C-alpha cells in the first residue's frame, strides 16, 4: 500500500520544499521507503554540466530511495516563470500522462511519496489545465502549507475552499513561520484554525538561518 500526498501552498515561497523535506525525513524515521516527487519545476542551477532545480534536488536529498534526478523532476525549465508560459515558450507539453507514469514508477519503488506542486493550488500547466486537475485525476490527498504573513488568512481560506471543491481529501495544514513572529501572530493562527476545514498539523518556528530548518524534528509538532 502506498502513502501518497500532494503538498501545495498559499503562495510561492511559503516553504513547500522545506515542509516536504521535513515530512520525508519524518517518514523515513518511521521506517518508510520514501521519495519526493517534483513533477514540474522552473529555475535551475548548473551542477556538473547539468541544469537542475534546487527544490527538486532538496527533495531528492531527503528521499530514502535514491533515484535519478529525471525520475524526481521530469519537467525542468531553466527560466523562472509559470509552468504553462514556459511550456508554450519551449514547445514542451506538460502531459498528465507523463506525470502519472512517473508517479506510478515511484509507487512501484517506494511506499511513502511526497509530491510537491508549483506555486499555489491553481497553478496552470497549460492553457486548459491546472495542477489541481491532475491531482484530482490521481485522487491524491492534499497537505497545505500556509506561509504566515500579512494576507495569508485570505489566501488560506480561498485555497481551503478550492481543495474541498474538488472533493479531495484535505489531510491537513501546516503553519510555516517564514518571518519572525509579529503582533497578532496568535490571533492569526487561531483564525486559521477556525476557518480551515482540515486538521492543524503543527507550526514550524522561524529560522534566521534557512539551512538549519532542515534539521528540525517534525515529531515536535505533528500529532502523535
Active site residues: 38
Sign of CA dihedral 129, 22, 24, 67: positive
Angle between helices 16-29 and 54-62 (to 10 degrees): 10
Sheet of 170-176: strand order equals: 34-37, 112-120, 3-9, 142-147, 170-176, 200-204
Contacts of 33 (CB under 8 A, 6+ apart): 64, 65, 109, 110, 111, 112
CA 51 to chain centre: 21
First to last CA, the chain: 21
Reference 83, options 103, 106, 104, 99; nearest CA is: 99
Q: Distance (Å, rounded) from C-alpha 204 to C-alpha 115? A: 20
Sign of CA dihedral 35, 125, 13, 54: positive
Q: Distance (Å, rounded) from C-alpha 16 to C-alpha 31? A: 23
Amino acid at each position: 500500500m502506498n502513502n501518497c500526498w500532494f503538498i501545495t501552498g498559499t503562495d510561492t515561497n511559503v516553504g513547500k520544499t522545506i515542509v516536504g523535506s521535513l515530512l520525508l525525513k519524518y517518514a523515513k524515521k518511521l521506517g518508510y521507503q520514501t521519495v519526493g516527487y517534483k513533477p514540474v519545476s522552473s529555475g535551475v542551477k548548473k551542477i556538473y554540466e547539468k541544469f537542475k532545480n534546487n527544490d527538486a534536488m532538496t527533495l531528492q536529498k531527503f528521499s530514502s530511495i535514491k533515484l535519478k534526478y529525471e525520475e524526481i523532476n521530469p519537467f525542468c525549465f531553466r527560466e523562472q516563470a509559470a509552468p504553462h508560459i514556459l511550456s508554450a515558450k519551449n514547445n514542451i507539453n506538460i502531459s498528465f500522462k507523463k506525470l502519472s507514469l512517473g508517479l506510478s514508477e515511484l509507487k512501484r519503488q517506494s511506499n511513502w511519496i511526497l509530491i510537491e506542486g508549483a506555486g499555489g493550488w491553481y497553478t496552470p500547466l497549460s492553457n486548459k489545465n491546472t495542477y489541481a486537475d491532475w491531482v484530482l485525476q490521481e485522487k491524491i490527498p492534499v497537505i497545505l502549507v500556509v506561509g504566515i504573513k500579512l494576507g495569508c488568512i485570505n489566501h488560506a481560506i480561498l485555497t481551503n475552499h478550492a481543495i474541498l471543491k474538488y472533493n479531495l481529501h484535505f489531510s491537513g495544514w501546516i503553519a510555516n513561520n517564514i518571518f519572525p513572529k509579529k503582533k497578532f501572530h496568535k490571533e492569526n493562527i487561531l483564525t486559521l484554525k477556525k476557518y480551515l476545514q482540515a486538521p492543524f498539523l503543527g507550526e514550524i518556528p522561524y529560522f534566521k538561518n534557512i539551512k538549519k530548518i532542515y534539521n528540525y524534528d517534525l515529531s515536535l509538532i505533528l500529532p502523535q
